[in-house]
């Protein structure tokens, strides 16, 4: 993990986040990012991939959490799939029987990897874009986003004070 990301994680811990490093005990093994993630998002920066694999969980009061390799591999307990927001949007489009809308939703999520989920103030997420920046989105229009950080490390500093400023 890069020093910049490690420092951001330490700052998050000082702000009340609970961090469990992968491999720290038998209940939190080191897990590689699943192939289906790497195939869909081949542009994930190496430092982000390393952080996702080396951090088993990073959670704030069970209301906001980072998505890690363990989350993508579905090896941790939780109420949401890593792609829950995409699935909710697709479900809405399917109810309308709108194939064009479904294609637009899938194209959007092909360029936005969810990296954090929050239920602190409604359903919200953060996603990494192809250019390395991080955006936030929330219900009801998950595909409408706002850029919150230019990089993953900057994002970690942004999200540390919950609610993020």
pLDDT in tens, 101-139: 999 999 999 999 999 999 988 899 999 999 999 999 999
Count of domains in the chain?
A: 1
Structure-model confidence comparison of residues 31 and 147, the more confident one: 147
**Residue 136 domain-assigned (yes or no):** yes
Confidence of residue 58 (pLDDT cuts 50, 70, 90): very high
**Residue 164 domain-assigned (yes or no):** no
What tokens were used for 15? 């702000």
The predicted structure's pLDDT at residue 144: 96
Domain that holds residue 155: 3-159
**Residue 123 domain-assigned (yes or no):** yes
Instruction: Count Cβ atoms below 10 Å from residue 152 Cβ, excluding itself.
Output: 25
Confidence of residue 165 (pLDDT cuts 50, 70, 90): very low
The predicted structure's pLDDT at residue 163: 62
**Residue 165 domain-assigned (yes or no):** no
Confidence of residue 78 (pLDDT cuts 50, 70, 90): low
Query: What mean pLDDT is predicted for residues 86-95?
Result: 94
**Residue 50 domain-assigned (yes or no):** yes
CA distance 125 to 144: 11
Which CATH number covers residue 81? 3.40.1580
CA distance 126 to 79: 17
**Residue 89 domain-assigned (yes or no):** yes
**Residue 7 domain-assigned (yes or no):** yes
Structure-model confidence comparison of residues 74 and 51, the more confident one: 51
């Amino acid at each position: 993990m890069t020093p910049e990301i490690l420092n951001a994680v330490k700052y998050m811990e000082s702000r009340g986040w609970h961090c469990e490093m992968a491999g720290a005990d038998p209940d939190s093994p080191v897990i590689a990012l699943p192939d289906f993630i790497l195939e869909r998002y081949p542009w994930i920066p190496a430092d982000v991939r390393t952080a996702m694999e080396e951090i088993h969980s990073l959670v704030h009061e069970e209301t906001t959490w980072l998505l890690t390799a363990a989350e993508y591999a579905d090896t941790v307990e939780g109420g949401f799939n890593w792609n829950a927001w995409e699935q909710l949007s697709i479900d809405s489009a399917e109810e309308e029987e709108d194939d064009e809308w479904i294609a637009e939703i899938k194209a959007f999520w092909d360029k936005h990897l969810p990296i954090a989920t929050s239920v602190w103030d409604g359903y919200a997420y953060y996603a990494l874009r192809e250019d390395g920046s991080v955006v936030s989105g929330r219900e009801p229009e998950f595909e409408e986003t706002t850029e919150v950080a230019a990089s993953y490390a900057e994002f970690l500093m942004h999200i540390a004070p919950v609610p993020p400023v």
